[in-house]
Every structure is written in structure tokens, then in C-alpha cells.
Structure 1
Amino acid sequence: MSETLSATTSTPVPPSPPSPRTLAVARLRDLALVPAIVAVAIVGSIVNPVFLSSDNIINVLQGMSEIAILVLAQTIVLITGKMDLSLESTFGLAPGIAAWLIVDPAITHGLGLQVLPAAWAVPVVLLVGALVGAFNGLLIVRFGLNGFVVTLGMLIVLRGLLTGISGGKTFFALPSSMTYLGSATWLGVPASIWVALSLFAAGIVVLGHTRPGRALYAIGGNVDAARAAGIRTDRMLWLALIVASVLAALAGLLISGRLAAVPSAQGNGAIFQVFAAAVIGGVSLNGGRGSVFGAFTGVLLLFLIINVLTLAGVPAQWTNFLNGAVILVALVVSRITGGKAQT
């Protein structure tokens, strides 16, 4: 009898599926920013008729594409209940390492090593991203260190490493393998927009309709319950950190291609926009809540507002003020509507 009771109590109980009402509320939450986006578009058209022109819309989408991929990366990590501050440094370091190993020092006045052929550019960028994510996972998952502190330290280390290998200068004379995705045009639209939209579409499918995606939400909601339900939480957390870093590296490659250069300060301060977009898009800083589509609407709304302010003649120096204000407003709204702040 005791053996039977023991077997019964040790069997993990799978989480019950969400009710239709819960799913409906979640879908409505995903669309919460759509009216705000429409309102900003109306205001923008009034401020300046150029706002709704195809050229301006494409410029906005291209300008936000790299940060949008960073937002996607951060969303994946936030859903698990963690956060990765080092993404902004990976954004600069990954293409910086590739440029350092590939560019010709004879052209760049001694900057660079030219020890690898140009064809290795993209693999090196993605490999650097994967290594950074794996190392973060080692410290956070295997050694159980605080994720905020670990990634804050990595942000500083990676930023210092990029400054060190570049001497505080800008890598230029990049090979076409590094500039193609950031400068090419497909069907009349910049390739970076297609890449960003494709990644968000994949994120919506994976996080919303696959077992690994549901596992990430379960981990963010209650890691102990997820582990009891048979989810390999350590492996999934590690994988989420690696995927996020690879996405950050890819985003860095896109902006390096668009600028045809890798500045030593690339990505500096980008994490503020990333968190602003994620929070306003409904992604909880506690984990287990939020969606890829919501994150996309968050970054779109943020960049549309910035574009309207630019067309209205507001100085760009007010951007950081806007990002901080957006985070505070989103937290207050979350408190009012949900009864609990997303801290």
C-alpha cells in the first residue's frame, strides 16, 4: 500500500491546458498595441505627410530591424524568467571579431589581422554569438550564479574586449560577405527587413505552437513545476541563452553590413531600447508571460514614435528619455490592468 502511495505522489502531474477564455485574453493582449500604432500613424501623418510615404516606412522598418532582432532575443530569455544584458555587447563584439580576423591591415592602417578568408565572416560571427551564450549558460545554469549579475559582467567584459581589439577605432573595408545582408535589397525591400520578419515569424511558430516553446513558458512560470513535469529545465535555459546570443550576433552583422563598418561602440546603450520595446510589448520581466508578436508591436510602436518625433524636429537626444518613460508607463499600465507589476 505504501509503495502504491509513493508511486502516486512521485508521478509528476502535467500542467492543465489553458482554458478557451485564457487563450482569448492572451490573443487580445497580443493585439493591445495595434490601436496605439494606428493612433501614432494618424498623428505622424498630421505632423508630416512624409510619414506615411513608402520610403519613410521602409526606412523605419530597416532602422528597427537590427534592434527588433535583439528584442526577439531578449524576449526568448525573458520568457524563461531570466534576462541577458550582454546582448548589446554581443551585438558589437561578434562582427568586430570577424572583422578583426578578416580585414586587411594594409588597407585599414594596421587595424586587423587578415588570418581568415572573407568566406568565414558569417560563420565566425555566429560562432562568437554561440560561445558567448554558452558561457553565460555555464555560469548561470551550471554554477547557479545570478543571471543579472553574470550578464552585466559579460556586457562589460565583451565591450572591453571589442575596444581592446579595435584600439577604440572603427573596422572598415569589410568584405562583401559581411556587408551583403545589411546592404542587399530583395524584391525592392532591404534584406534586413526580410530577415527580421522571417525570424519573428519563426519565433511566433516555435514559442506559440511547439513543445520547446511551451517548455520555455513553463520554466518562466514555475521552474520547479516544469522540472517536476519532466522538462529538462537546465538544457532549455542553456539553449535559450545560446539562441539569444546567436540572434544578437546576427543583428550585429546586419547593422555592420548596413554601415559597412564596425565601430568600437557598436550596440552601446541598445539594451535600453530592447527592454523598453519588450516591456511595452507585454513581455513580463518575471517570466512566463508575453509573446513574440507582442514584442514586435512593442518595437514597432517605439520606432514609429521616434520617427514622428524626428519629423517634428525633436532632437535625437530625447530618445533615452522616451525609452525610460515607455518602461515606466508600461509598468504602471501592467499594474492597473493586471493587478501586479511586471518587475
Structure 2
Amino acid sequence: MSATTEVTDTAVTAAEAPAGKARRGLDMGRFRDLSLIPAILVLGVIGFIVSPAFLTADNLIGVAQQSTELSLLVLATTLILVAGRMDLSLESTIGVAPVIAVWLVLPTSGGRFNGLGLFPEWAAVPLCLAVGAVIGLVNGFLILKLRLNGFIVTLGALTMLRGLQVALSEGQSIVELPSSFTYLGRASWLGMPAAIWICAMLFTLGGGALAWLRHGRALYAIGGNSEAARTAGIRVDRIVWIVLVLGSLLAAFAGILYSGHYGSISATQGSGWIFQVFAATVIGGVSLNGGKGSVFGALTGVLTLQLVVNVMTLAGVPPLWNQFLNGLIIIVALIISRFASGEKQE
């Protein structure tokens, strides 16, 4: 092992100490990661009682398919929250990144939506990811270099990017998408949608990074006490900047999957998703204060929300109640977290 590696590992270990409550409560943390499993099983029983179609392969695969794009935003938000930061602009990135990419590759005439035609159609996916990376870079610069409030910066970015999305799309859905842009959203691998396999792989990579990689473990130290982490030798700003860029990349990729799945990009794509994202992360055990949470817990949060919606749909409950339910779940999860941990939610 090199000297640099030894120093970094020592720094991570030292910085994790001030976040001590998270470490001392390790067993409780593991319990929180699994706390939604009984709820998911209960939802399965309720769903079967409501409709025998609930436990069919088609329905369960459909639920998983509908969870893929949201789950990527939840994965991104989990990484960012663990580091003690917040990015509200992810909900706009999922829409504006595909719009800009398509705008750059579609021809200037001959269709309902006229683009610039600057790049070949195969470049749509790389361009979409590049747009996501640029958004993360700009957010990181404003937050980490100019020391602006992260909540206000990303709230402003959310509004600005949403306006750009509507302006470029001219307020209409874009249906003439390049074939390269729709492949992943529609393809099936081994009998299941490719999006499910891709999300499973990304969650595995994210969970592995947080558990075993130095920079992943450093996120917990940064989220627990960034000043202690910086004093211990962790390059806080650089790691947080990387996480912000990675989060925007995941949001842009979620936009590719969503657009490909439905075969179009709507002018309001992603609008209101941030409420579902935070509902899933909070009930999945990720702390809004930073330094706590896991990728697996966040994934169970996504599945719980989607199963609740699916059961309600099968039971004939109007979908207009979904937003109310998401807000209620967040509040209940915060109350349970408060009394289970004995810590104050600030």
C-alpha cells in the first residue's frame, strides 16, 4: 500500500470519529436499512388481496420499470445528501438535458420540432450526459468556489433550467427522437427491460463505492462534520464537487431512459419529481442532515413508494391522491426517525 493511500485511509478514519453518533449507532443504521422490508412484504399481501394481478410477473416488472428513472434520481440524491449537500435542480436536469441534446442533433427543418442539426444523431446520448455534467460543474462552482448557499443555488437552477426546457421545446412534446436515444428505454435483456438491469448495476456500484472505496467512505465523514474531515486531510471541496457532477450525470441518464421509454420528451418532464425523490430517500433512512444513509435503504424507499402507488391504482384510488400521500409519508418518516434515533431533526 502506498504512503498516499495510508494517509487517505487515516484521514477518513479520523474524520469519521466526529460523526461518531452515526458510527456508534452502526447496528441501528443497519436496522434502518432493512426497516422497510416488512412494509414491502405487507404491501405485497395487501396488493394480492386487492387484486390477484398484483403478484403477476407483468405487474411486478411494470412496477420495476416505472421505478427506474425515479430510482436514479434517488441514487443521486442519496450520494449528495450523505455528503451533507442538497441538489434540487436534479428534477429539471432530467428534462432539460434530453431537450438540449435533441435540439442539437435534430435537423433545422422537416419535422414538428426544429433543431440546430449541429451533431449526428448518434451523438444525442453523449451530448445529454455532457449537459448533465456541465450543470453539475456549474452548481459546484457556485456552491464551493463562490460559497453561495447550496439550497438557493440549486433552487434557482431548478427554475432556470425548467424555463430553458420549456423555451427550447416551445412548450410542446418532442416526439421525433433519434433511435440511439430510445434504445435503452425500450430494449429488453434476458426478458426484462434493459433499464432495470442498468439501474441494478448502478445501485450496486453506488453501494459498493460507499461501503468500500475511500472516497465513498469519506462522504460519510464529510456529511458528519466537513470541517473535521478537512482538518483530517480529506479534500472536501473536490469530493463534493465530484458528487454534484455525478448526481447531475445520473439525472441526465434518467432523462435518457425516461424519454426512450415513452418515446417523447414533454415540456414538463421531471416537474414535481423532487417531492417523490425526497420522500423515497427520507423513508429509506437517508438523513437530511448528512452523514447517514445507504443506497440499499434508498432503493427500498423507491420500491415502497411505487408499490403504494401500484396498490392504490389496482384498488381504484384516483392518482390525484399520490402527491398528498408522498408528503404524508415524508412527515411520518421524519417523526419515526426522530423518536427512533433520539436526535433532533433540524
Out of 90, 98, 102, the residue aligned to residue 99 of structure 1 is 102
2:304 maps to 301
Is 2:64 aligned against 1:64? no
2:336 maps to 333
Give the partner amino acid of 2:159. Answer: I
Is 2:234 aligned against 1:225? no
Out of 321, 324, 327, the residue aligned to residue 321 of structure 1 is 324
Out of 245, 248, 252, the residue aligned to residue 251 of structure 2 is 248
1:25 maps to 28
2:90 maps to 87
Out of 195, 199, 204, the residue aligned to residue 202 of structure 2 is 199
What is the CA–CA distance in structure 1 between the aligned matches of 2:28 and 2:295, rounded to whole Å? Answer: 16
What is the CA–CA distance in structure 1 between the aligned matches of 2:241 and 2:24, rounded to whole Å? Answer: 33
- In the TM superposition, 1:214-293 aligns within 5 A as 214-293=217-296
DSSP-derived class of the 2:175 partner: coil
Q: Which deviates more from structure 2 when the two are superposed, residues 20-29 or residues 324-333?
A: 20-29
RMSD of the alignment, in Å?
1.7
What is the CA–CA distance in structure 1 between the aligned matches of 2:113 and 2:322, rounded to whole Å? Answer: 36
Structure 1 unaligned spans of 5+: 1-10
Structure 2 unaligned spans of 5+: 1-9
- In the TM superposition, 1:38-187 aligns within 5 A as 38-187=41-190
What is the CA–CA distance in structure 1 between the aligned matches of 2:270 and 2:113, rounded to whole Å? Answer: 24
Give the partner amino acid of 1:68. Answer: S
Post-superposition shift, 1:29?
1.7
Share of identical aligned residues, percent? 54
What is the CA–CA distance in structure 2 between the aligned matches of 1:338 and 1:201, rounded to whole Å? Answer: 27
Cα offsets for 1:92-134 (capped at 9, x unmatched): 0111111111223444235322221011111101100000000
What is the CA–CA distance in structure 1 between the aligned matches of 2:102 and 2:141, rounded to whole Å? Answer: 27
What is the CA–CA distance in structure 2 between the aligned matches of 1:274 and 1:285, rounded to whole Å? Answer: 12
What is the CA–CA distance in structure 1 between the aligned matches of 2:319 and 2:269, rounded to whole Å? Answer: 17
DSSP-derived class of the 2:288 partner: coil
Is 2:40 aligned against 1:37? yes
Give the partner amino acid of 1:152. Answer: L
What is the CA–CA distance in structure 2 between the aligned matches of 1:110 and 1:121, rounded to whole Å? Answer: 15
Post-superposition shift, 1:342?
4.0
DSSP-derived class of the 1:14 partner: helix
What is the CA–CA distance in structure 1 between the aligned matches of 2:196 and 2:42, rounded to whole Å? Answer: 23
Cα offsets for 1:5-54 (capped at 9, x unmatched): xxxxxx97824678997433322221111011001111110011110000
2:6 maps to none
What is the CA–CA distance in structure 1 between the aligned matches of 2:113 and 2:169, rounded to whole Å? Answer: 10
2:14 maps to 14
**CA gap 1:105/1:312 in 2 versus in 1, 3 angstroms:** farther
Asked if structure 2 preserves the Cα contact closer than 8 Å seen for 1:334 and 1:341, the reply is no
What is the CA–CA distance in structure 2 between the aligned matches of 1:255 and 1:150, rounded to whole Å? Answer: 26
Asked if structure 1 preserves the Cα contact closer than 8 Å seen for 2:16 and 2:221, the reply is no
